[in-house]
Every structure is written in structure tokens, then in C-alpha cells.
Amino acid sequence: MFISSSRFILKTCGTTTPLLCLPLLMSMVQEYSGFDNVQDLFYSRKNFKRPELQRTPHRSFQEEAEILNQFFPGKGGRAYCLGSFNGDDCWYLYYFSAASIKRKLMARQNLPSNRSIKSKNENDQTLEVLMTGVDPKKMVNFYKENCPSASEATKVSGIGNLIPGMTIDDFLFDPCGYSMNGVSKTVPGGYMTIHVTPEPEFSYVSFETNIHHKNYKDLIKRVVKLFGPKQFVVTFFSSEGKPFIEFEEDQTERSYYDDYYVEDLQVCRLPGYDLTYALFNRFPS
């Protein structure tokens, strides 16, 4: 969990039930900080390979959206599916915005309102790279028989060099698996987090950061090179009016990402944010 002055970010894996902790988290926020209203909520995940193994309410996205609607009534929440609904690249998002409810009320009363709720100078962005079919040769560092400690896995894999100036808390699971959380020494509230599932039958790596970069394409390229997936999904949130990532859609030529081409590309405009979704597949060898 990452906590800053006005937000918290919770990342989980396996069969955890993060939505069930929301009432407790919101009550703790009110008790210790005095905040009693949620301004924005983002809940997202990739489709599960074995949804039947999950616990309620995480066995389907419809069930997750229904419980979130109960937590945040008033038609401020919206559920989205990006990517192919009947494929392995489906990415779900539930977004609640208190500002969208306020805008509707003001519009009903014919009062002027600005669509964006953020300062023009405020930078808010989140990059996520979700990788599947990861190169087995690059996964050897995430087995305890090959790397005795998490710090060594972080070093030899190259993860420690992805974003400079991070304080890293890493963990190597037994017999295999890896996760790390990093907080920036120079960017207030800046973080990076990575989870690695190395088993070849269902290999998966997730990378996420909210630290601003002048060249996101270069960062994505370095992340993908580090793990060598057969397929990866990029999602990028940016506050409205700020630059977003442009991806090539020409599948006949090699893209900026060398051996990958854009299979699917979607751009959404949410209240106060722009969202880009892109699916990349490796070119046939």
C-alpha cells in the first residue's frame, strides 16, 4: 500500500479480496485525516485465467462493479472493459468521480462548471505494463534456487536500474515469485511497483509507476526488454489536457518497440483524465 497526503494505492495479487476492505479503509481515513468524501476511485485488473478460484466478490467483474455501486451510489461510478471481451487481453476498469455527480447537478440547475477538476499545472499520471508469456530465460532470477535473496534478484535482473532514485522494499517468494515496492527519494508521492510470476505455464509480470517521464516510450521499451513477453498491455492515465502516449497502428513495419506491433488501441476520456489502452503482440519469428 502506498499512502500520500490525499490518496492511497492498494495493490494485491492471488486470491485476496481488496474490495471488502474499502469500508474499513474509508473509516480509517476519516478517523486519522479528517477526510470524509472520496473524490476519485479507480479499480482495475486484467481478466483472470481461473476466475472460479477467486473469492467473492472477485469471481466476475459484474459482481465487483455491483458491490462498488453499493459503496458509491449516485450514478458517479462507471464500469468499462477495454480490449477484447472474449480474449485474453481484456482489461477492466471501474471509475468513480464525485466531480461528475457535481457537474450533473450544476448542469441540471443551468450553472456553469469546468469539466476538469484539476489545476492546469497539476501533473497526475499512471503507467501500467502487464506482460504475459514472459521469456523463461529472464525468469531464472526469480527462483530461490538461483537467487538466494530478493535484493540480489533486484540487482541481477536490472529492476533496480529502471527508475533511479528509488527506495526499494523487495521480496522473493519460496520457491519462486517476486514483488517489489519502491518510493521515490525526490518525487513526493512517487512510486514504482513490480510483481513477477515466473512459472512458464502462466508467467506474468506487472509494472506500474506514477512518476512523470519525458519519454514514456523509452521507459516502456526498457521494461519490456527486461522481461521479454510474447504479449503486453499498456494502460496510461493522464490528467486532462496533459500529454498522452501515442502508439503506431501500422502493423506492416517494425514499431518503436522493435519486435512488437499494436494489435489493439483504445483512447477514452474520463472526468478529469484521459486513458490510453494498447495491446502489443510479438511479430512472428
User: How does pLDDT run across 108-118, given as a tens digit for each residue?
Assistant: 455 554 444 44
Question: Residue 169 and residue 242: Cα distance in Å, rounded?
Answer: 31
For residue 112 the three cell numbers come to 456553469
CA-atom Rg of the chain in angstroms: 20
Give this prediction's pTM. 0.87
Q: Determine how many CB atoms are found less than 10 A away from the CB of residue 249.
A: 12
Q: Determine how many CB atoms are found less than 10 A away from the CB of residue 19.
A: 18
98: part of which helix (H) or strand (E)?
helix 98-108
- Considering the four listed CATH numbers 3.30.420.10, 3.60.90.10, 3.40.190.290, 3.40.640.10, the one that applies to the domain covering 125-282 is 3.60.90.10
pLDDT at 175: 95
Which residue ranges does the chain devote to CATH 3.60.90.10?
2-108, 125-282
Q: Which of 27-31, 146-150, 246-250 is predicted least confidently? A: 246-250
pLDDT digits (tens, 9 = 90+) for 158-192: 999 999 999 999 999 999 999 999 999 999 999 99
Question: Residue 61 and residue 100: Cα distance in Å, rounded?
Answer: 22
pLDDT at 243: 55
The model's confidence at residue 249, banded by pLDDT at 50, 70 and 90, is low
In the predicted model, what is the mean pLDDT of the chain? 87
The answer, yes or no, to whether residue 125 has pLDDT greater than 60, is: yes
Which CATH topology does 2-108 take? S-adenosylmethionine decarboxylase (3.60.90)
Mean predicted confidence (pLDDT) in 49-69: 93
The model's confidence at residue 14, banded by pLDDT at 50, 70 and 90, is confident
* 276 and 244 Cβ atoms separated by less than 8 Å: yes
pLDDT at 115: 44
- Kindly report whether the peptide bond that precedes residue 284 is cis, defined as omega within 30 degrees of 0: no
The answer, yes or no, to whether residue 54 has pLDDT greater than 70, is: yes
Q: Which of 53-62, 84-93, 251-260 is predicted least confidently? A: 251-260
pLDDT at 107: 44
Q: Which of 4-8, 31-35, 259-263 is predicted least confidently? A: 4-8
